[in-house]
Structure 1
Amino acid sequence: MPTTPWYRDGRLHFGAGIENTFVPQERAGERAIDEYALTDHYAQWSGDLDLAVSVDAEFLRWGIPWHVVSPEPGRWDWSWTDRVLDGFAARGLRPIVDLLHYGTPTWIEGEFAHPDYPSFVTEYAARAAERYRDLATDYTPVNEPMLHSLFSGEYGYWPPYRSGPAGLVQIATAIARGFVGTQRAVADVLGHEATFVHVDASMRYAGDVDAPEHRETAYRYAHQAFLVEDLVTGRVGPDHALLPFLLAHGLDDDALTWFADNAVQPDVMGVNYYPRHSTELFESGIHHGGGFADPRPTRDDGVEGLEEMLRTYAERYGAPVMLAETCVTDDVPTRLAWLDASVAAVNGLRADGVDVVGYTWWPLFDMYEWTYRHSELPRAAHLLTMGLHDLVETPTVLARRRNPVADRFAEHASRGAR
């Protein structure tokens, strides 16, 4: 008898995440980012899973380091991930597995721009699904695919350093093709047992969006926030707001037909929302390039923005939604206030009929800012105080120290389990 999927049992499920950004490529002035190395998760994974259990998390968003399991073409090393996923099972903790969280292995020349990137990532996904078919059934094919596309395709900030509209369309299309291949490969292995949690970043635009110098860009960005998800779900058709832009910058009719014919859908639509970063402002008379290196100013729209984003994704994609990442980077009282306010907002949406099935505090323990890549300073200079547990440098180990946010999270999770 088929069992009811976890996201259909009527409860709000609480979980956490371990930051798993991987950009292993290096060049002059740019260090590799491997958050598992920076946070010592490779060595401390067992204790880290215990931390998740200690706060009553039902699930943990966690990623396979593709560059580690595939260090060279044709060579696979699953030894570390074998131990970790066995550890999930031993603890009764559900992994929601990120297959791609920004980086590719270093041997893929041109990264997402390599003509065979979709086939490379599809093979990797199929191998992972087959190897862990008894340990993991919940997969996120690509975490934040639009941010991938912007950082690597429009802003020229991460490999392969494309820029401008043509770069954006090239990288977004390649990532979307790999996304489709990944989901179909996992589904071929797991069948109806597979659950696909698509996850993208909230991108809201406000301020002087109608100023003549910003109107065209602001309109594009408002629709572009959904571009990769629209491509993979077959929603880019004759009436799509970005169709003229896409066709003008490299997408052709054959590609559109391919996406329509091979569309994949989310079982759960994950929404990442950070109140201090998810709403960018356009200012009349002021040009900001946008992106990590040249950001527009932001506005904290708090729970109002959160509620809008969850409603928008639920309506646009017709799937249950989950808050897949949220937090504020600040002191403990400020984090506690956001935790309480955001949980209350999610429960309010549920009471109003919005099918919100999950709440994720990100991360389980602190992380290091991506500016580490362009810095010569030690990792401690880039610490982000975000977690349910603090990272504390000691002479012998990078310690994890539980803070009051973990206690409050556990209270919310315990109520959600009832």
Structure 2
Amino acid sequence: MTAGFLEQLQKRYGNHQYPGDRQGGAAGATGQGEPSTRPGNFMFATGIECSYPTIDHGKTRRDELEECHHYQRWQKDLQLVKDLGLNVLRYGLPYHRIHLDAGRYDWSFADEVMQEMQRLEITPILDLMHFGVPDWLGNFQNPDLPIHFADYCAAVADRYPWVRYYTPVNEIYVTAKASAKNGVWNEQLKSDRAFVTAMKHIVAASILGTQSLAQRRPDLVVVQSESAEYIHEACSVQSQEVKLLNKLRFLSLDLLYAFPPDADVCMYLLDNGLTRAEYDWFMAGEPPGYQVMGNDYYGRNEKILLPDGTMCQGEDVFGWYQITREYYNRYRKPVMHTETNVLDAEKASCWLWKQWVNVLRMRQDGVPVLGFNWYSLIDQIDWDIELAEKKGTVNPCGLYDLERNPRPVAQAYRDLLKEFGQMTIVPHGEMFEVTSQPARLKIEV
């Protein structure tokens, strides 16, 4: 009887040591190992908390870079990023300190930090507006904001032409809501009209700023960071108010991506100050550059409205996967998990892995998730009360504490990177390395 093919292979090669592999082709890479600097590598990142809204009706500036000692320890912080094995950093330049007046800038701090990032080969996702504006611009009710912000974006791109990745405005919806609807920051107003005014000014600023960036960097990648929110109403009769709120969470991205809002949202906008001409301007088309829809998810983003009118936290009823899937189905943009943490250091490691499993499941279901970011590198101050008062409470949500000592979640992130750090942005992405070609409108087939 003729020997089987396995016996023939053994005779020829011995113990099956023949050319090739059985792990997917080429060198048989599994995706394990610290992230590489190859352009097709999945974007594992952290961020440095940089919020700077005002409270006390403009009298007090909450500058997290100052309160968390980054201005003094920025070199150490950047080195910690590399020590973790990361090459990507969401980083916010202090807009309120740099833009001194129309056409006047102070680059002294920014130049030092950006030069060190280049030396360390850190790829920044540069955040240009994070919950606040310079004192001379007042607040988000100022209609001059979009023009001045576009000038600032142009100045940044001219000064740092090597930067490709930007978040022009962080969490537009949260910025407008906290400043003009909930009365916590900046203008501290509490009206629908003020909310709509802030929303249209901030989105317009993001659009004009993106245009300024793309004129100088045609291959621009915009990683929009927006809060992934949802309210579950635990009532037998669903209220129109909550139905509208669950639609308004899309408003910033609807205006940014020229996605026509539902009729009730349009009526709400027109009733509260958005003109038809302004609406048509937003719907003309989305901004230039490659657009990535970043979704931020904290357990407190998801809430349950109880029959007595109180709210309780609803983390993981839907979770990042379900909520972000809604956003993806609406806009069909590549996705990044742009922010997450938990305010309890003992739960942080488990939370990290839960969020990562969400990312893996999303990718398995065919949604292009390009990156993941634990936010932030260092503990934060007073985010348990959304910076509403200057109490100085340390929120132990960082990979490192304020003394720059690692928390357990830092080791958990290292373990995650060791297991997944060299996976590609898209499966088989090594065949299609990211190029420096100018961005083009996407072809839909």
Q: What is the TM-score normalised by the length of structure 2?
A: 0.82
Match of 1:340 in 2: 353
Mapping of 1:172-187 within 5 angstroms?
172-187=199-214
Q: Within 1, Cα distance between the matches of 2:134 and 2:342?
A: 31
Give the corresponding residue for 1:108: 137
Q: What whole-Å deviation, never above 9, does each CA across 1:9-35 have from its counterpart, x for those lacking one?
A: 66532110111101256558x632000
How far is 1:188 from its partner? Answer: 0.8
Describe the SS at the equivalent of 2:337: strand
Partner of 2:267, secondary structure, is helix
Report the counterpart of residue 314 of structure 1 in structure 2: 328
Q: Confirm or deny: 8 A CA contact 1:24 1:105 kept in the other structure.
A: no
Tell me the amino acid that sits aligned with residue 245 of structure 1: Y
What's 1:46 paired with?
Answer: 75
Counterpart amino acid of 2:226?
D
Equivalence map 1:103-252=2 (5 Å): 103-109=132-138, 111-134=139-162, 136-192=163-219, 194-208=220-234, 211=237, 215-236=239-260, 239-252=262-275
**Matched residue, 1:269:** 293
Unaligned stretches of 5+ residues in structure 2: 1-35, 423-445
2:415 is aligned with 1:400: no
The Cα of 1:336 is off from its aligned counterpart by 1.0
Q: Closer, same or farther in 2 for the Cα pair 1:375/1:155, shift >3 Å?
A: closer
1:352 to 343, 365, 375: 365
Q: 1:251 to 1:348 in 2, by over 3 A?
A: same
Other structure's SS at 1:268 match: strand
Q: How far has the Cα of 1:284 moved from its partner?
A: 1.9
The offset of 1:363, in angstroms, is: 0.6
Which one of the candidate residues 12, 15, 37 is aligned to 2:66? 37
Structure 1 pair 191–218 and aligned structure 2 pair: CA distance change class (3 A)? same
Structure 1 residues 285 and 319: alpha-carbon distance in aligned structure 2, compared to 1, 3 A threshold: same
CA distance in 1, matches of 2:104, 2:415: 45
Q: Which residue of 1 aligns with 2:43?
A: 13
Q: Which amino acid aligns with 2:191?
A: G
CA RMSD of aligned residues (A): 2.2
Note if 1:257 corresponds to 2:313: no
Opposite residue 257 of structure 2, the aligned amino acid is T
* 1:241/1:251 CA distance change after superposition, 3 Å: same
Offset at residue 348 of structure 1 (A): 2.0
Q: How many Å apart are 1:374 and its aligned residue?
A: 4.8
Q: Distance in 2 between matches of 1:209 and 1:267?
A: 38
Instruction: Say if 1:10 and 1:71 are closer, same or farther in 2 by CA, change over 3 A.
Output: closer
Quick check: 2:233–2:242 contact (8 Å CA) kept in 1? no
Moved more, 312-321 or 84-93: 312-321
Q: Are 1:388 and 2:388 matched, yes or no?
A: no
Distance in 1, matches of 2:109 and 2:43, equals 28
Note the C-alpha offset of 1:73: 3.9
1:325 to 339, 345, 348: 339
The aligned residue for residue 3 of structure 1 is none
Distance 2:38 2:265 in 1: 34
Aligned AA (2:294): G
The one-character-per-residue Cα deviations of 1:263-293 (angstroms, maximum 9, x if unpaired) are 3266211000012x0111222242x5xxxxx
Give the SS at the match of 1:104. Answer: coil
Determine if contact 1:22/1:102 at 8 Å carries over to the other structure: yes
In the TM superposition, what is the alpha-carbon distance from 1:8 to its structure 2 partner?
11
**CA, structure 1 residues 353+338, in 2 after alignment: closer, same or farther (shift >3 Å)?**
same
From the superposition, tell whether residues 335 and 355 of structure 1 become closer, same or farther in structure 2 (CA, over 3 Å): same
Matched, 1:301 2:316: yes
Q: What is the match of residue 414 of structure 1?
A: 418
1:396 corresponds in structure 2 to: none
Indicate whether 1:80 and 2:106 are aligned: no
Query: 1:140–1:196: 8 Å Cα contact kept in structure 2?
Result: yes
The size of the alignment, in residue pairs, is: 385
Question: Which structure has the larger Rg over C-alpha atoms?
Answer: 2
For 2:252, what is the secondary structure of its paired residue? helix
